[in-house]
């Protein structure tokens, strides 16, 4: 969870469709706010500000949207990026109640070193990228650490139930789901398979005329 409050200045938006190009020409991008029982509202935000906010808040941290001196707590619910440049093209924000618990998908981050990787020439296999939790908005972390130092043997694994979390956070996924496990490293040969290109042997066939003369 972030210790710093994240603010994002916004402006009401009245242009849509192809006219949005006018916004982007001024260094702004379109966005929407919805949820919490209130009507959806079209806004625009500065691209540089939005980029910094997304870097710090991700999809889990509270973003305080500032519009006409009104503070609207929210989280980034959806993001659209330019497929060529990766630049943010559009954002959706979901209003939240700071005094009400909410669900969030929080990304996992591997920490530590597994002794089994060296002992068995093994590889770490991260089977899931995130877990679903429930907590008050201010208590939701930016990520959850998965300590792999306990993985020594090839049969060792880490499940959701093994995660060490703050008591304010409730895991909603099945605790038996395996998150990380060791698997044996498999060497892939780089030499070409010459046998695959060899033609199949052709059996010698008897000349029909010779066969006929021998039978006469």
- The answer to whether residue 214 is domain-embedded is no
- 3-class DSSP state of 69: coil
Task: Assign residue 165 the CATH number of its domain.
Answer: 2.170.120.20
Q: pLDDT tier at 76 (50, 70, 90 boundaries)?
A: very high
Task: Give the span between the Cα atoms of 119 and 130, in whole angstroms.
Answer: 28
pLDDT for 129 equals 94
Among 96, 119, 146, the domain boundary falls at: 96
Residue 90 and residue 109 share a domain: no
- The answer to whether residue 167 is domain-embedded is yes
Contact 117, 153 (CB under 8 A): no
- The answer to whether residue 162 is domain-embedded is yes
pLDDT for 18 equals 84
Residue 127 and residue 69 share a domain: no
pLDDT for 99 equals 96
pLDDT for 1 equals 53
Token digits for 38? 């209130």
Token digits for 169? 């956070």
Tell me which DSSP letter residue 97 carries: -
- The answer to whether residue 1 is domain-embedded is no
Q: What is the pLDDT of residues 86-137, one digit of tens each?
A: 999 999 999 999 999 999 999 999 999 888 788 777 788 889 999 999 999 9
Q: pLDDT tier at 199 (50, 70, 90 boundaries)?
A: low
- The answer to whether residue 199 is domain-embedded is no
Task: Give the span between the Cα atoms of 163 and 134, in whole angstroms.
Answer: 15
- 3-class DSSP state of 162: helix
Residue 79 and residue 157 share a domain: no
Q: Is the pLDDT of residue 163 over 70?
A: yes
Q: Is the pLDDT of residue 212 over 60?
A: no
pLDDT for 15 equals 85
Contact 99, 89 (CB under 8 A): no
pLDDT for 214 equals 43
Mean pLDDT of all residues in the chain?
A: 86
Task: Give φ, ψ of 152 to 5 degrees.
Answer: -120, -45
pLDDT for 42 equals 96
Residue 108 and residue 86 share a domain: no
Residue 131 and residue 92 share a domain: no
Residue 63 and residue 109 share a domain: no
Among 79, 96, 113, the domain boundary falls at: 96
> Averaged over 9-34, what is the pLDDT?
92
Q: Is the pLDDT of residue 36 over 70?
A: yes
Residue with tokens 């999809």: 59
- 3-class DSSP state of 26: coil
pLDDT for 202 equals 54
Token digits for 5? 């409050």
pLDDT for 4 equals 78
- The answer to whether residue 201 is domain-embedded is no
Q: What is the pLDDT of residues 45-65, one digit of tens each?
A: 999 999 999 999 999 999 999
Task: Give the span between the Cα atoms of 109 and 177, in whole angstroms.
Answer: 16
Tell me which DSSP letter residue 71 carries: E
Contact 168, 146 (CB under 8 A): no
181-205 as b/e, with b when 16 or more CB fall inside 10 Å? Answer: bbeeeeeeeeeeeeeeeeeeeeeee
* Number of compact structural domains in the chain: 2
Structural domain including 39 reads 6-96
- 3-class DSSP state of 87: coil
- The answer to whether residue 92 is domain-embedded is yes
Residue 88 and residue 50 share a domain: yes
pLDDT for 121 equals 78
> Averaged over 8-32, what is the pLDDT?
91
């Amino acid at each position: 969870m972030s210790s710093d409050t994240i603010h994002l200045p916004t402006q009401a938006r009245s242009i849509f469709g192809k006219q949005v190009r006018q916004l982007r020409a001024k260094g702004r991008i379109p966005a929407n706010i919805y949820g919490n029982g209130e009507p959806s509202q079209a806004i625009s935000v500065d691209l540089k500000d939005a980029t910094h906010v997304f870097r710090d808040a991700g999809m889990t941290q509270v973003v305080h949207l500032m519009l006409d001196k009104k503070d609207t707590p929210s989280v980034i619910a959806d993001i659209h990026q330019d497929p060529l440049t990766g630049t943010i093209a559009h954002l959706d924000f979901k209003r939240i109640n700071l005094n009400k618990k909410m669900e969030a998908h929080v990304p996992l981050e591997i920490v530590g070193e597994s002794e089994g990787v060296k002992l068995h020439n093994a590889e770490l296999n991260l089977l899931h990228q995130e877990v679903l939790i429930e907590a008050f908005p201010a208590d939701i972390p930016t990520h959850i650490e998965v300590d792999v130092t306990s993985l020594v043997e090839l049969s060792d694994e880490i499940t959701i139930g093994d995660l060490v979390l703050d008591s304010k956070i409730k895991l909603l996924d099945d605790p038996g789901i395996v998150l990380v496990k060791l698997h044996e490293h498999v060497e892939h040969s780089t030499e070409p398979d010459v046998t695959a290109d060899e033609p199949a042997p052709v059996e010698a066939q008897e000349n029909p005329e010779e066969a006929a003369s021998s039978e006469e």
